[in-house]
Every structure is written in structure tokens, then in C-alpha cells.
Amino acid sequence: MTITYRHSWRARGRAALPLLALALLPVVAARAAAAAAPAAEPPVLEEDAFLAKYYPPLDKANVRVTPIGDGVALLQGVGGNVLALTGADGTLLVDGEFAALAPKIEAAVHGLPSGDKPLRYLIDTHYHFDHTDANAAFAALGAVVVAADPLRARLASGGVISDGGKLRVHQAAAKPQALPTLTYDHQMTLRMDGEEVLLVHFPAAHTDGDTVVFLKNAHVVHMGDIFVRYGFPLIDLKAGGSVAGMIKACRAVLAGIPDDMQIIPGHGDLSSIADLAAYTRMLEQTSAAVAKARRAGKSLEQMKRENVLAPWVERWGDPKDPSRAQAFIDVLYHSGS
Ligand SMILES: [Zn+2]
């Protein structure tokens, strides 16, 4: 696939090994890991049980609005970050939060300049429910739900999302009205509100159906959970993700964007190119460390015992909860590092 932006990009590695990252609140993985019993397969929680256990009541959650530029805003509740593009032609959202927050997202959009125009598009960055749960609610308001081809099948079937450690959540099959009605393969451009909205499919990154969304005039990009700010990321290996694909996607974005690009991560605050570059280096270095240990003949259990990611724990892990780093070692190991 060729992407024409500042540079031409060529997507590499459609195959790659699965590495799956469910971007949930950082604290969630830590608490789940701490709470579960060691050894044995950790239990699989249904969405409701998972939310009740680790999240504040969704109906009490508020939406924080950060204006980014002309007609562009970041909306943050408790799930994935939402980008809103508003203007004379209508509204486009990137990701939609949990369904319970849809009315508050809608109200926040109405408070934006030209936010009272019709909702036209909702782009899903990947299938995880903390990003897609409100699909049906926004489709009912008139939004065309847009996604990369593989996402539709993932949403339709549901699946078990794992962080490589103690966190395992069953995402139920989505109802038909929640499924994307407009899907694409390599890339696609939507034009509205004076903006060129470029969607690029990265096929083996956080999942197999990741979309990175560039607002080419506003110099804003939403990376979904390919880039998160809570430390070691979740990579959804079972849904076709891979650490190699995460790194390739980050490198491709870094190579193709102007220096003043503002970057919206899947979770966490608005970020800069320096933030994304540091995160990308961490992915490269940690995956190299696990690969080196593997070449030295170490088993997965040995790597966890020796904590081969120790040099990165202070900045990217949780020094008080070694299970987070251990979960990431597991993911890197099974991703083929
Ligand atoms: Zn995710």
C-alpha cells in the first residue's frame, strides 16, 4: 500500500505475528493482575463484570473537552479518546467511547463551533469495545460507521482480549446495527469541513484492523491504541496484532507527518512527535531485549523471573506491580520477538 502524504509510505508486513493491545485504563491491567491468582489461566470476565470491577460507574462519568484547532477537539471520557471534527458540512468522530457515554459525547459535540450540524461519520480505530461500544447509538443519529475491512468481522464475532497477563475480557458479538457500513482496505480519504481526512489501515499492529486517521490540514492524527500513554501497551495477538506491526506503524507515522503534528493517542493526553518517538524506541528496545534473551536460550518463565524489562519499568511499567512488565514480556515473547 502506498500512502501519499508528506512522504510516500509503503506498508510492510501484512502477515506478522499476532500481538493485541486492548487499550484500557492503565490501572485496570495492574489491578486485574494484582487481583488474580498466580499460575493457571486467568478467568475471562464478561464486559459488564469487567466494567463493574475496574471502572467508575459509566453513567456518572464526565467528558472533558480539549479544543485542538479550528473545528477539531479531543473528547475524553473513560474509554478511548474521541476526536471530533466539526464544521459547516457536519460532524465526524474518530472513536465513540462506551455507549453509556454517547449522550454526553453528543452534548459535548453540540457545544463545539458548528457542533449542531448533522453527525455524518464515525470512524472506528479498532474493534475493542472501549472504542466501539457507541457505534449503534451514533449510527442511530445518522452516522455512517467507517472502518478497515477486518474490523467488521472482529466486531461481528467478538473475542477474548488479553494483555498477556491476568487480564482477559470477553467482548460480545456486536449487534448488526453497530457494524460498519463503509469499509476499506489500504487507505481512504474523506473530504468535509475543509479538511482532508486520510484513513490508513495498519493490518497487524494493535489488532489486524487498525486505522490511523490524519487530519491533513489541521495537522492532527488519531492513532487509536497503536499509541497509548499508559506505559507498556496491550497488543491483541489473538486479533492479529503484533509488536513488529506496532513498531512499523509508529515508524510510518513518524516518517510521514510534519513537525508540528499533534498526536492523539488511544488513551492519555494529547501528545507530540517527541512523545511518540520515545514510545517507539521503547517498543524497539523492549522487543530487542526479549529477542536477545530468547537467542540466549532463555525460557519465557526465566525472562519473567529475571525481569528482562527492568531497565524500562520505571518509565513504562509499574515498579510496584511487576506483573505489568511480566505481561508485556509474555506478549513480546509470543509476538515472535
Ligand atoms: Zn484497544
Compute, in angstroms, the gap from residue 210 CA to the centroid of ligand 1. 9
Distance from the CA of 126 to the center of ligand 1, in angstroms?
Answer: 7
pLDDT at 337: 57
Cell representation of residue 253: 507515522
**What's the 81 CA to ligand 1 centre distance in angstroms?**
11
CA of 288 to the centre of ligand 1 (A): 23
List the beta bridge partners of residue 212.
Answer: 200
Strands, E assignment, 17-126: 45-46, 64-69, 72-76, 82-85, 91-94, 119-123
3-state secondary structure of 264: strand
Read off the pLDDT of residues 176-217 as tens digits, 9 standing for 90 and up: 999 999 999 999 999 999 999 999 999 999 999 999 999 999
18 CA to middle of ligand 1, Å?
A: 14
Note the CATH architecture for domain 2-278: 4-Layer Sandwich (3.60)
The string of pLDDT tens digits covering residues 267-276 is 999 999 999 9
Low-confidence ranges of the chain (pLDDT < 70): 1-40, 337
Find the 207 Cα to ligand 1 centroid distance in Å: 8
Angle at 6 (CA atoms; ends 269, 278), nearest 5 degrees: 35
Quote the pLDDT of residue 39: 54
Cα separations in angstroms, 309 against 117, 298, 304, 317: 49, 14, 9, 9
Q: How far apart are the CA of 273 and the centre of ligand 1, in A? A: 21
CA-closest candidate to residue 66, choices 83, 86, 79, 89: 83
CA of 297 relative to ligand 1 center, distance in Å:
32
Between strands 144-148 and 119-123, the pairing is parallel
Q: How far is the CA of 206 from the centre of ligand 1 (A)?
A: 7
Question: What is the Å distance from ligand 1's center to 235 Cα?
Answer: 8
How many CB atoms lie under 10 A from the CB of residue 319? 11
Contacts of 37 (CB under 8 A, 6+ apart): none
Rounded to the nearest whole angstrom, what is the distance from the C-alpha of residue 312 to the centroid of ligand 1? 22
Ligand 1 is an ion; its neighbours by CB within 5 Å are: 22-23, 128, 225
